[in-house]
Amino acid sequence: MIRSLKAGALLLLLSFGAAFAQSFPPDNDFYVNDYADLLTDAEEDELRATLDELFQARDIEFTVLTIPRMLDYGHTGSIESFATALFNYWGIGDADRNDGLLLLVSRFDRELRIEVGAGYGDTLNGPMQRVINNKIVPYFRLDDYPAGIRAGVDEIIFQVTDRYPGEYDSPWIERAWNGFKRLLVNLGWWLIAPFALVSPFVVRLIRRMQRNRPRICPNDGSRMRRYLEETEDDSLSPGQLVEERLESVDYDVWYCDRCDHVTIEGYRAWFSRYGACRECGFRTVEGESRTIRAATYSSTGLREADYNCHHCNAHYTVQSTIPKKRKSSSSSRSGSRGGGRSSGGGASGSW
Ligand SMILES: [Zn+2]
Ligand SMILES: [Zn+2]
């Protein structure tokens, strides 16, 4: 008697514990809930537009969810069980057709899952596995989460609808042309890669040649002489010297021996964190920006940047407006999902 009471109490405790332990991320957005912060706002918007287009054109509910780790929601089991439970808790997809789609990425678990509605049966398991292995994981391994999610979503949509985003109502000839372009882009990647590696050197070489070509004095037509870096300092202004020290601009000083004419030529660095100072005009100002007020759907945000000049010591602050967050046409549907179910179909992967 006492023993069964104890067992009952234990069972009660366990079930409370379990109910407390397992929770799910909030379903705030119909299309994209990026709790692991893998995407920029612009990337989220782009993804939303793609998923909204799918929903409008084919009535298929596809949602993308990223989370830091499953343990944050009290889950210690597999990503498969987490995804199925979450799919059914949210009710993704149409309740009669059960055609919903979920792409779940658990960042620090380094696991992902494509969970599909019960209506697909097992038919999508193989294709989804290939999407994960061939389209998503290669990018994730390079820590390029936006590209992996983007490529994965496009390919999932193609596997399910036989159309890529933007081509739902396109005639076959247009789709064939787009397919050809996609092929070129994929091929082009391999063709362009060697050039991309070499081109900075080529450009630098051309620039070097331009810098070294002889200069003629405008006064007497004689060939000018370029000062060595050490001796040119006397000809440069204090601001130019600071620019040289910060490596934001590199100066060449050309000198005419016959008439003492001096020509100064500045070459801006391609990548420099120093900008042009509002006060003195030299490229000696360094800025640090921070968000004062984040943008919301109803109001714009505010960003503020503090600038410090290494030449004239000016300090100034510039405020700029962050545009309102854009609502996709269907985000009003948030929380009003179709009530679809999954029976555990789909595929998983890790990276
Ligand atoms: Zn001269
Ligand atoms: Zn300044």
Angle between helices 145-161 and 41-58 (to 10 degrees): 0
pLDDT greater than 50 at residue 267: yes
Q: What is the mean pLDDT of the chain?
A: 86
Q: How far apart are the CA of 266 and the centre of ligand 1, in A?
A: 20
Tell me the ligand closest to 242's alpha carbon. Answer: 2
> Which of 110-119, 202-211, 272-281 tops mean pLDDT?
110-119
pLDDT greater than 50 at residue 18: no
Tell me the ligand closest to 274's alpha carbon. Answer: 2
Lowest mean pLDDT among 26-30, 173-177, 312-316: 173-177
Q: How far apart are the CA of 250 and the centre of ligand 2, in A?
A: 17
Q: How far apart are the CA of 274 and the centre of ligand 2, in A?
A: 11
Please tell me the distance from the alpha carbon of residue 232 to that of residue 212, in angstroms, as a whole number.
16
Q: How far apart are the CA of 263 and the centre of ligand 1, in A?
A: 10
Percent of the chain at pLDDT > 90 equals 56
pLDDT greater than 80 at residue 192: no
Tell me the ligand closest to 277's alpha carbon. Answer: 2
pLDDT for 7 equals 52
Write the single-letter amino acid at 66: T
pLDDT greater than 50 at residue 163: yes
The H or E element spanning position 307 is strand 301-309
Q: What is the pTM of this model?
A: 0.55
pLDDT greater than 50 at residue 56: yes
Q: How far apart are the CA of 253 and the centre of ligand 1, in A?
A: 14
pLDDT greater than 50 at residue 209: yes
Q: How far apart are the CA of 319 and the centre of ligand 2, in A?
A: 18
Closest CA to 102 of 162, 90, 148: 90
pLDDT greater than 70 at residue 212: yes
pLDDT for 194 equals 74
Closest CA to 44 of 57, 63, 61: 63
**What is the number of residues in the chain?**
351
Q: Which phi and psi angles does 143 have, rounded to 5°?
A: 65, 20
Tell me the ligand closest to 283's alpha carbon. Answer: 2
**Looking at the domain that runs over 21-169, which CATH code has it been given?**
3.10.310.50
Per domain, the residue ranges of the chain are 21-169, 273-320
Predicted confidence (pLDDT) per residue in 61-110, tens digit: 999 999 999 998 988 899 999 999 999 999 999 999 999 999 999 999 99
Q: What is the mean pLDDT of residues 160-186?
A: 83
Q: How far apart are the CA of 216 and the centre of ligand 1, in A?
A: 8
Q: How far apart are the CA of 315 and the centre of ligand 2, in A?
A: 8
Please tell me the distance from the alpha carbon of residue 93 to that of residue 242, in angstroms, as a whole number.
61
Q: How far apart are the CA of 224 and the centre of ligand 1, in A?
A: 7
Q: What is the mean pLDDT of residues 323-333?
A: 53
Kindly give, in sequence order, each residue whose CB lies less than 8 Å from that of residue 22, ignoring residues fewer than 6 positions away.
73, 74, 75, 85
Please tell me the distance from the alpha carbon of residue 216 to that of residue 41, in angstroms, as a whole number.
53
